[in-house]
Chains A and B, each alone.
Chain A
Amino acid sequence: MAFHNGSILLAAPAGGDYEKVEGRDRETIECQRACEAVAADKTASDYDHIVWAYGVIWALFCVYGIMLWRRSERLSADVATLTRKLERMS
Chain B
Amino acid sequence: MGRKLPLALFAIGAGTFPYCVQRVFLATPIERQMGTVQKIFYFHVPLAWIMMLLGVVCGVAAALQLRRGSRTAEAVAISAAEVLLVAGLGVLITGPIWGHATWGKAWTWDARQVSTGLLWLIFAAYVLVRHYGGVGSERLAAALAIFGAIDVPIIYYAVKIWKTTHPDNNVVGSLPPEMWASLWPCLGALVAMSMGLLLIRTRHEKTEMMLDDGWVQIEDLARESADKDKS
User: Per the CB under 8 Å rule, do A and B touch in the complex?
Assistant: yes
- Say whether B47 faces chain A, with CB atoms less than 8 Å apart: yes
Nearest chain-A residue to B100 (Cβ)? Answer: A49
**A64 in complex: contacting residue of B44, B82, B94, B211, CB < 8 Å:** B82
Interface 1/0s, chain B 191-231, versus A by CB < 8 A? 00100010011001001100100110010011001000000
Q: How distant is A73 from chain B, measured CB to nearest CB, in Å?
A: 11
Q: Is there contact, CB below 8 Å, between A64 and B101?
A: no
Residues of A within 8 A of B (CB): 42-43, 45-47, 49-50, 52-54, 56-57, 60-61, 64-65, 68, 71-72, 75, 78-79, 82, 85-86, 89
Q: How distant is A86 from chain B, measured CB to nearest CB, in Å?
A: 6
Q: Is there contact, CB below 8 Å, between B218 and A85?
A: yes
> Roughly how many angstroms separate A78 CA and B207 CA in the complex, as a whole number?
10
Residues of B within 8 A of A (CB): 35-37, 39-40, 43-44, 47, 82-83, 86, 89-90, 93-94, 97-98, 100-101, 193, 197, 200-201, 204, 207-208, 211, 214-215, 218, 221-222, 225
Interface of A: prevailing SS: helix
Nearest chain-A residue to B214 (Cβ)? Answer: A82
> Roughly how many angstroms separate A3 CA and B43 CA in the complex, as a whole number?
54
Q: Is there contact, CB below 8 Å, between A75 and B36?
A: no
Most chain B C-beta atoms within 10 Å of own C-beta, residue among A45, A50, A64, A82 = A50
Q: How distant is B221 from chain A, measured CB to nearest CB, in Å?
A: 7
> Roughly how many angstroms separate A45 CA and B97 CA in the complex, as a whole number?
11
Q: Is there contact, CB below 8 Å, between B93 and A68?
A: no
> Roughly how many angstroms separate A79 CA and B82 CA in the complex, as a whole number?
24
**A50 in complex: contacting residue of B36, B100, B201, B207, CB < 8 Å:** B36
Q: How distant is A39 from chain B, measured CB to nearest CB, in Å?
A: 9
7 closest A-B pairs by CB:
A46-B37, A49-B101, A46-B36, A53-B94, A53-B40, A53-B97, A57-B90
Offer 5 A-B interface pairs, CB within 8 angstroms, sorted by A: A45-B37, A46-B36, A53-B94, A60-B89, A89-B225
Inside 8 A of A68's CB, which chain B residues have their CB? 197, 200-201, 204
> Roughly how many angstroms separate A52 CA and B86 CA in the complex, as a whole number?
16
Q: Is there contact, CB below 8 Å, between A75 and B35?
A: no
> Roughly how many angstroms separate A57 CA and B193 CA in the complex, as a whole number?
12
Nearest chain-A residue to B6 (Cβ)? Answer: A68
Q: Is there contact, CB below 8 Å, between A50 and B215?
A: no
Nearest chain-B residue to A39 (Cβ)? Answer: B35
Q: How distant is B168 from chain A, measured CB to nearest CB, in Å?
A: 21
Nearest chain-B residue to A67 (Cβ)? Answer: B82
Inside 8 A of B207's CB, which chain A residues have their CB? 75, 79
**B35 in complex: contacting residue of A42, A71, A82, A85, CB < 8 Å:** A42
